[in-house]
A and B are shown apart, each in its own frame.
Chain A
Amino acid sequence: MKKHNIQFRLNGEKIAIEVEPNDVLLDVLRGRLGIKSPKVGCDRGDCGTCTVLLDGKTIRSCLALAVEADGAELVTLEGANSSRKWTQKLQKKFHEKNAFQCGFCAPGVILSATELLETNPKPSEHEIKEAIAGNLCRCTGYEPIVEAIAETVKGK
């Protein structure tokens, strides 16, 4: 396989890296770049634990080839925390409301909620549920998560 030299921005930092055509973005982020917030869950796009922002939109990093990130702007929870308006507010509210237990889904949920609030700062409960429908949580039963997102918006 012919290797590819690619460049992208990761949490604001310029990255230049050589990847194989069959390298998966999630594996490169975790295994080679030390970014551990995206998790390996179902590894087939169903669970949302590998969520990252690519050019401002949530994607499944388990369903992208690393080489596709060439020229892109990638943001993970590690960077969103300081660069996105809503992320840290969400994190604080999740902490306060005990909106996660094991924490495995939390980075994906918070990035999905970040994307939602950036486009729709006054979401209905249904819109919140729809926005996180692709992020599976096996601990909380979702209610504290939905409440935490709703209360983040209200600024309580």
Chain B
Amino acid sequence: MPITAEFEYVKPKDMDEALRVFSLYKDKARALAGGTDLIVHLKEGLAKPEVVVDLKALKELSGFGLKGSALRIGALATFAELIASPLIKTKFPVLWEASQTVASVGVRNRATVAGNICSAVPSADSAPALALYEAEVLVRGRNGERRIPIGGWFTGPKKTALLPDEIVTCVELKLPAKKHGGCYMKLARYEGEDLAQGGVAVLALADNTYRVAVCALGPVPGRCPKTEAVLNGNKLSDKVLAQAKEAILKEISPIGDIRSSKEYRLHMAQIMLERSLGHAVTRLFGKGPAYGTENIA
């Protein structure tokens, strides 16, 4: 299907040039990295930019690396690059596990983490992991740089805190100070590529604290502080798990849609919370299913 919308294409050679285009065109400019969402939106008329700004020549936006306890993931880094990285696998295993659930190889070779959170669909697979690792989104406009905590990034379905004249330069994650195990559990209609019916990510840390985040279970992905409060300081007894499963129902608000009913999502959120906590704790002690293998059954 050809794209019927008309637009100009520019590929800035440096950041200044890119920012000039965005300050000039504002919401009439759209950033292009992997394009796996943008091209669909152009075809379907959901995006009608006057100019498409290809960021792929901006070398400072590519790659990723750990500096101290901060992992900077450049806006051009693809899911395939993260999956191929031993650093991500060993230090940020929940992000590694979540990355493998994003679409399929041919999409992950192009699709970026930054693009995933800029598209900001409620089912964004990378979002719960970013929330667990206390990510901040670094954005730049002509007036300088801003750091936006991931908790304030998603402002609604397909909406973010990014201003029209800004671009995302990188996402910065914090390496947990304590030893930890984790899990990203994705519920889908079948194995293979599908959008999440629901996703639950957890971290279990060596000091008996826990982090819980979800996607596709409400208008925006994010942390579940009430559930965490129930869990924190406790071993996972039947009683604590039962309380946590009650708590999570108070902080998710799933809809019913083509992929699942609301009731099924509410039910499965509790099941996934219990199972993912179980995996996270066994992984904390070096056991449990290997990261990236089937974990929901």
What is the interface of chain A, defined by CB distance below 8 A to chain B? 1-2, 4, 21-24, 27, 40, 43-46, 48, 51, 57-60, 62-65, 67-68, 108, 112, 115-116, 126, 129-131, 133-135
Contacts and interface: CB of A to CB of B under 8 A. Distances in A.
B25 to A, nearest CB: 14
B5 A134 contact: no
A63 B110 contact: yes
Interface of B: 1-9, 32, 35-36, 39-40, 42-43, 52, 54, 56, 80, 100, 103-107, 109-110, 191-193, 293
A112 B109 CA distance: 12
A60 B103 CA distance: 12
A95 B42 CA distance: 38
- Indicate the member of B4, B105, B109 with the most A CB atoms within 10 Å: B105
Interface SS, B side? loop
16 contacts: A22-B3, A22-B6, A24-B1, A43-B1, A44-B43, A45-B39, A58-B105, A58-B106, A59-B110, A62-B39, A65-B39, A67-B54, A68-B35, A130-B100, A133-B105, A134-B104
Contacts of A24: 1-3, 39, 43
Q: Which 5 A-B pairs have the closest CB atoms?
A: A134-B104, A21-B9, A133-B192, A22-B3, A58-B106
A112 B106 contact: yes
Given A60-B106, A65-B35, 17 more contacts: A2-B8, A21-B7, A21-B8, A21-B52, A45-B103, A45-B107, A46-B193, A63-B35, A63-B110, A64-B39, A67-B9, A68-B32, A116-B105, A133-B192, A134-B104, A134-B192, A134-B193
Interface SS, A side? mixed
B107 A134 contact: yes
A51 B110 CA distance: 12
Given A2-B8, A24-B39, A48 B104 contact: yes
B35 A51 contact: no
A35 to B, nearest CB: 17
B65 to A, nearest CB: 21
Nearest to B104: A134
Nearest to B56: A68
- Indicate the member of B36, B100, B104 with the most A CB atoms within 10 Å: B104
A64 B35 contact: yes
B18 to A, nearest CB: 16
Contacts of A130: 100, 105
A45 B40 contact: yes
Contacts of A126: 293
B54 to A, nearest CB: 7
Contacts of B100: 130
A62 B39 CA distance: 8
Nearest to A3: B9
Contact of A45 (B5, B36, B56, B191): B36
Contact of A27 (B2, B35, B103, B293): B2
B139 to A, nearest CB: 23
Given A22-B5, A64-B35, A58 B109 contact: yes
Contact of A57 (B32, B80, B104): B80
B259 to A, nearest CB: 14
A2 B40 CA distance: 22
